[in-house]
Amino acid sequence: MEGKESAAGSAGDEGSKDALGKPLGPTPSQSRFQVDLVAEGPRKSCGDIGAASKGGEEAKGRFRVNFVDPSAGSESPGEPGGGSSEGGNVSGVQNGGDTVMSEGSLHSGGHHHYYYDTHTNTYYLRTFGHNTMDAVPRIDHYRHTAADLGEKLLRPSLAELHDELDKEPFEDGYANGEEGTPAGDAAAAYTPDSKGVVKFGWIKGVLVRCMLNIWGVMLFIRLSWIVGQAGIGLSVLVIGMATVVTTITGLSTSAIATNGFVRGGGAYYLISRSLGPEFGGAIGLIFAFANAVAVAMYVVGFAETVVELLKENGTLMIDEMNDIRIIGAITVVILLGISIAGMEWEAKAQIVLLVILILAIGDFVIGTFIPLDSKKPKGFFGYNAEIFMENFGPDFRQEETFFSVFAIFFPAATGILAGANISGDLADPQSAIPKGTLLAILITTLVYVGIAVSVGSCVVRDATGNVNDTIVNELTNCTTAACKLNYDFSSCHSQAGAECHYGLMNNFQVMSMVSGFAPLISAGIFSATLSSALASLVSAPKIFQALCKDSIYPGFQMFAKGYGKNNEPLRGYILTFLIALGFILIAELNVIAPIISNFFLASYALINFSVFHASLAKSPGWRPAFKYYNMWISLIGAILCCIVMFVINWWAALLTYVIVLGLYIYVTYKKPDVNWGSSTQALTYLNALQHSIRLSGVEDHVKNFRPQCLIMTGAPNARPALLHLVHAFTKNVGLMICGHVHMGPRRQAMKELSTDLAKYQRWLIKNKMKAFYAPVHAEDLRDGGQYLMQAAGLGRMRPNTLVVGFKKNWRQGDMRDVETYINLFHDAFDVQYGVVVIRLKEGLDISHLQGQDLLSSQEKSPCTKDVIVKVDYSKKSETDTSIAFAPPSSERAPTSRKEEDDDGKTPTQPLLNKDSKSSPLSLADQRLLDASSQFQKKQGKSNIDVWWLFDDGGLTLLIPYLITTKKKWKDCKIRVFIGGKINRIDHDRRAMATLLSKFRIDFSDIMVLGDINTKPKKENIAAFEEMIEPFRLHEDDKEQEVADKMKEDEPWRITDNELELYKTKTYRQIRLNELLKEHSSTANIIVMSLPVARKGAVSSALYMAWLEALSKDLPPILLVRGNHQSVLTFYS
């Protein structure tokens, strides 16, 4: 039955594919998988072609993959039977082993887009003959959403395979860091139009382009002069040195180009995806500009040659300079026309120009074998060993040196990136770029060397061109090769006034003179200049377009737009044309040429450096298919490029460095929101890992103690004051981890954990907080706190101080929450943590005002504004505990903004709906909002009061000192308060002053309090007793059994015995509060020793009451208790 059904399905499917004009899929005998479209509407017969195509429209990408038995039912479906060789070939997409579907997705011209739909049960994949949802490995799972080659498919997510069936699966199925749109959107977002897109192979796209770009004017006009100056030997060395630089760069380019799919943008794309947007953005801009100016350079070279010809024939239009401008302008307009006509036309033009160029080179080679007597007076004698020997050594004149000659030749070797620059227009850039570039370098180098040697073997350095200079009598003092060939050109050296216009040294047109048919050489010069100009005119806009698409420079966004099937950057063409035209009109190319060469070299250097950097970072993603590269050779290549920059022109090199550095700093400062998995990221990770491991091997030392804080913030944006105050003493000093305990149903919490992690870490970075966000899921706050204290951090970078906000509403809430809160302190002391409790009288938690923070203290007139509020439900609106407590799910209210939801808490006060107009904030809320941003402002000249009553190792003193080192707090002075006896106040003050000066901590005053142990005022004692009344056990008024039972059920209750036992301690807290109000009511911030309660002896309610009594109605106060190990030392 099953066999028949799948066979019928496959027949219908193939029929529909045929009808739609798509390639027929493999027949059942070839393929073990078959795709059936599944319609959402009423089921129709698959055999009917019309119905199948209609079903396809309705299916919107839902499909069923059936197992097709290769032997058409003769064997049992459980056995693969005979199909293993084809069927096993699942991952080879072009082979018959994939599904029919991928045929359509591969040649992305299809009408149907198939996506795996996560929300229906219509997906049955019979993998290897078993009914499982698991997908087999295939290329479509690894694509980006808008891939050029096909559509992205989503493999089933782990949740869909692993979670219980009645639960709803996770929404998305994206892999790590892969951006994408949900299946439905993706189909709409990307419909590739593959018809008419022009893609080039390696010969037409890379080889031809590179050869044309490398063979420039130098070949015909300057090479013979270089041979004259440097001699054959050094000329070959010059060519060899240039080739070494370009070959290393070619190898590096090949390595990067084969490390993954290459899109348009050439050198910019390769560098930016390797080294990140900073280097990529800097190079992209100058490389595009260099290409645009190179157009002008080549066109002026062409115009100069035309003007020379006009001058020879006496037909100049105006004068030389203006003729160059006129001809250059006309030429660049024609080239622009060819470029805008499309890549196809441009490629045809390049082929024609290459043919002319090769004919010109052939013309020269043939010419060398036909020495004519008429050419001998001009110095051309045909191949001759004497001439070869004479021209082998150097003969530098006119202050030329080896390096100056090298600087003149080197630009002739550039142009190796011409193929890579149009990477977006290549059919297979991964194989085309290495093959084409390296072969082009080889061919052009051989031609350069060949021409250098042959011209050096045929032509003497100096010739008069005078037919009468033949030698009649034997001359004794004539030793030159020309003399032995019966020509006397000694007049060139001897007579001061005589000028020779011929020979390698004096005539730039030696190649025309030698060639069999001179006009062909002129045609070759035209071809070389125009082809290079055309290649640059196409490269510059393509690179610029890629740069603009990445929106690294927001101002250039308009140039990202492409037109037509090939996405041609017409706006970029116009811009390039205008730049080129501007430089043509300047027509002073001797100044521009070295800068352009240096711009090209800077990009070569960075391509080489990219390979070195990627290899150094050991990123698992760096695995180029091209294996013939070496990281150290690439580094040498990068260094060579930098050296050559200085050799060519030192001031241009410095200018290039300044420009690259300037752009690099700009892009770093702007921080574009892109993530390309660059090697910079990989190396940062590697360095962090290595340093963390190295740090782990070092014992802690008191001099290097840093407060490393675990702050129980909940959602970091819910308690900004807590965050900013702790940041004031950890920024650039110690570690800061924002702990967030998610409670409630595990499944929901797990989902929130993953979304929150990315969201809040981004929020911290955006708000310039040097902190980490660490969410955990736990049954209650205490468990979560324990998990974080034990597991947060890495190696030596582990927290050593727990920071919590004061639980302001403890009297109104559930006392079990208070028990949990106080137990956090006990747990922290158990694991040798210090504890800091921060209290602001207005409170800390602004989560119930979330979304209204645009009405901050600067904007006090909220009445007129319509504010969209991101509703954030919290169980207790004023809760200031370090974290809110999640209620049982039955109480939970629906949330309108899931991701802004801080643990899914329920409201107790009416909150603003998302659509309602926001009412003005109440006075308390406005104060809370102002208080929450008070530590972001510059603190004026006031005091930080340190009440260092108990020695906890020095943390109570270290924190205020660190705060005063920050810019916002630098005007604040530290005042120290200590306890003492009335009769020794002076002695105690001097002792403390000595200690502080040994610690090198500045202070403005030391106050010794002799009256700490005085009994507090009666009304304050009465207020305290009234506060604790509801939490007392009153065991003396109850029977023993009832009292014991009550204490067991409610361990937080205060017993009469305990109250009596700790009476003095209670009075001390009340008295300290009186003293604080008396001495420190104007301080900016108070740092005070936290009283410690013995575990198991002091009930939670009493301890909470002590903290309340101690810290109420005061400026912001930090109650600090170190772990009683020294954190300060006066030893060096």
Render pLDDT for 480-523 as a digit per residue (tens, 0 to 9).
Answer: 777 777 777 777 766 544 567 788 888 888 888 888 888 888 88
pLDDT at 784: 92
Q: 465-469, 759-763, 780-784, 824-828: lowest mean pLDDT where?
A: 465-469
Q: 124-138, 504-518, 725-739: lowest mean pLDDT where?
A: 124-138
Comparison of pLDDT for 981 and 444, the residue scoring more: 444
> pTM above 0.75?
no
pLDDT at 117: 44
> Position 180: which residue type?
G
Q: Copy the structure tokens of residue 843.
A: 């409170």
Q: What values do phi and psi take at 398, rounded to 5?
A: 50, 45
Q: Residue 1052: pLDDT above 60? A: yes
Percent of the chain topping pLDDT 70:
77
Sign of CA dihedral 43, 45, 47, 52: negative
DSSP alpha helix (H) spans, 713-791: 720-730, 746-766, 781-791
Q: Across residues 58-65, what is the average pLDDT? A: 40
Q: Residue 847: pLDDT above 60? A: yes
pLDDT at 167: 45
Whether 102 contacts 93, CB under 8 Å? yes
Going by pLDDT thresholds of 50, 70 and 90, the confidence category of residue 330 is very high
Beta strands in 218-287 (DSSP E): none
Q: Copy the structure tokens of residue 995.
A: 């200690």
Measured distance CA(172)–CA(1127) in Å, rounded:
48
Q: Residue 184: pLDDT above 80? A: no
CA angle 931, 933, 934 (to 5 degrees): 65
Q: Across residues 1076-1080, what is the average pLDDT? A: 90
> Position 949: which residue type?
L
Percent of the chain topping pLDDT 90:
16
Q: Across residues 379-404, what is the average pLDDT? A: 86
Residue 987 CB neighbour total at 10 angstroms: 12
Q: Copy the structure tokens of residue 1023.
A: 């207020």
pLDDT at 67: 42
Comparison of pLDDT for 400 and 67, the residue scoring more: 400
- The residue to which tokens 């190696």 are assigned: 795
pLDDT at 438: 93
Q: Residue 618: pLDDT above 70? A: yes
Comparison of pLDDT for 41 and 1026, the residue scoring more: 1026
pLDDT at 474: 58
DSSP alpha helix (H) spans, 402-459: 402-409, 429-458
User: Residue 836 gets which letter from DSSP?
Assistant: E
Q: 1-5, 235-239, 659-663: lowest mean pLDDT where?
A: 1-5
3-state secondary structure of 1006: strand
Q: What values do phi and psi take at 1088, rounded to 5?
A: -135, 150
Whether 604 contacts 242, CB under 8 Å? no
Q: Residue 22: pLDDT above 80? A: no
User: Residue 157 gets which letter from DSSP?
Assistant: P
3-state secondary structure of 1001: coil
pLDDT at 588: 67
Q: Across residues 183-206, what is the average pLDDT? A: 60
Q: Across residues 296-308, what is the average pLDDT? A: 85
Q: Across residues 380-385, what is the average pLDDT? A: 86
DSSP alpha helix (H) spans, 341-428: 343-368, 385-392, 402-409
pLDDT at 40: 39
Comparison of pLDDT for 587 and 1117, the residue scoring more: 1117
Question: Within 13 Å of residue 1117, how many CA atoms lie on the same side as its CB?
Answer: 24
Sheet holding 709-712: strands in order across?
772-777, 736-742, 709-712, 801-805, 834-839, 1117-1121, 1085-1089, 943-947, 973-979, 1005-1009
Whether 242 contacts 218, CB under 8 Å? no
What is the tally of helices (H) and strands (E) in the chain? 38, 14
Selection from 889, 272, 296 nearest residue 551 by Cα = 272
3-state secondary structure of 572: helix
pLDDT digits (tens, 9 = 90+) for 854-909: 333 333 333 333 333 333 333 333 333 334 433 333 333 333 333 333 333 333 33
Q: Residue 145: pLDDT above 90? A: no
User: Residue 708 gets which letter from DSSP?
Assistant: -
pLDDT at 119: 43
Label the pairing between strands 63-67 and 33-37: antiparallel
- By residue count, the chain amounts to 1132
pLDDT at 114: 43
Which residues does 639 contact at the CB level (< 8 Å), separation at least 6?
none
pLDDT at 183: 37
Q: Residue 210: pLDDT above 60? A: yes
Going by pLDDT thresholds of 50, 70 and 90, the confidence category of residue 42 is very low
CA angle 900, 905, 911 (to 5 degrees): 75
Q: Residue 218: pLDDT above 90? A: no
pLDDT at 411: 81
- The residue to which tokens 């200031």 are assigned: 880
Q: Across residues 1032-1059, what is the average pLDDT? A: 83
Measured distance CA(838)–CA(801) in Å, rounded:
13
Q: What values do phi and psi take at 479, rounded to 5?
A: -115, -5
Which residues does 130 contact at the CB level (< 8 Å), separation at least 6?
none
> Position 834: which residue type?
G
> Position 380: which residue type?
F
> Position 124: which residue type?
Y
| Most distant CA pair in the chain, distance | 147
Q: Across residues 827-856, what is the average pLDDT? A: 78
Question: Mean pLDDT across the chain, nearest whole number?
Answer: 76
Q: Across residues 253-266, what is the average pLDDT? A: 84
> Position 1124: which residue type?
H
pLDDT at 163: 75
Q: Residue 65: pLDDT above 50? A: no
Q: 188-202, 340-354, 678-692: lowest mean pLDDT where?
A: 188-202
Q: What values do phi and psi take at 114, rounded to 5?
A: -100, 130
User: Residue 206 gets which letter from DSSP?
Assistant: I
Q: Residue 69: pLDDT above 80? A: no
Comparison of pLDDT for 673 and 125, the residue scoring more: 673
Comparison of pLDDT for 108 and 460, the residue scoring more: 460
Residue 798 CB neighbour total at 10 angstroms: 16
> Position 76: which residue type?
S
Q: Across residues 304-313, what is the average pLDDT? A: 82
Whether 563 contacts 570, CB under 8 Å? yes
Helix 343-368 and helix 320-340, axial crossing angle in degrees, nearest 10: 130
Going by pLDDT thresholds of 50, 70 and 90, the confidence category of residue 166 is low
pLDDT at 471: 61
Q: In the chain, what is the straight-line distance between the N-terminal and C-terminal CA atoms, in Å? A: 88
Q: Residue 175: pLDDT above 60? A: no
Going by pLDDT thresholds of 50, 70 and 90, the confidence category of residue 414 is confident
3-state secondary structure of 266: helix
Measured distance CA(344)–CA(989) in Å, rounded:
90
pLDDT digits (tens, 9 = 90+) for 579-604: 999 888 876 666 777 778 888 888 89
Whether 1100 contacts 823, CB under 8 Å? yes
Selection from 735, 732, 731, 733 nearest residue 709 by Cα = 735
pLDDT at 101: 36
Going by pLDDT thresholds of 50, 70 and 90, the confidence category of residue 938 is confident
pLDDT at 71: 42
Sign of CA dihedral 1026, 1030, 1032, 1038: positive
pLDDT at 885: 39
Going by pLDDT thresholds of 50, 70 and 90, the confidence category of residue 189 is very low
pLDDT at 853: 39
Whether 380 contacts 458, CB under 8 Å? yes
Residue 1087, strand partner residues:
946, 1118
Comparison of pLDDT for 89 and 264, the residue scoring more: 264
Measured distance CA(969)–CA(1092) in Å, rounded:
29
Measured distance CA(796)–CA(708) in Å, rounded:
10
DSSP alpha helix (H) spans, 128-207: 158-162, 183-189, 202
Comparison of pLDDT for 868 and 1064, the residue scoring more: 1064
Whether 173 contacts 117, CB under 8 Å? no
Which residues does 414 contact at the CB level (< 8 Å), separation at least 6?
213, 214, 246, 597, 600, 601, 604
Selection from 822, 781, 784, 800 nearest residue 1095 by Cα = 822
**C-alpha torsion 752→753→759→761, nearest 10:** 160
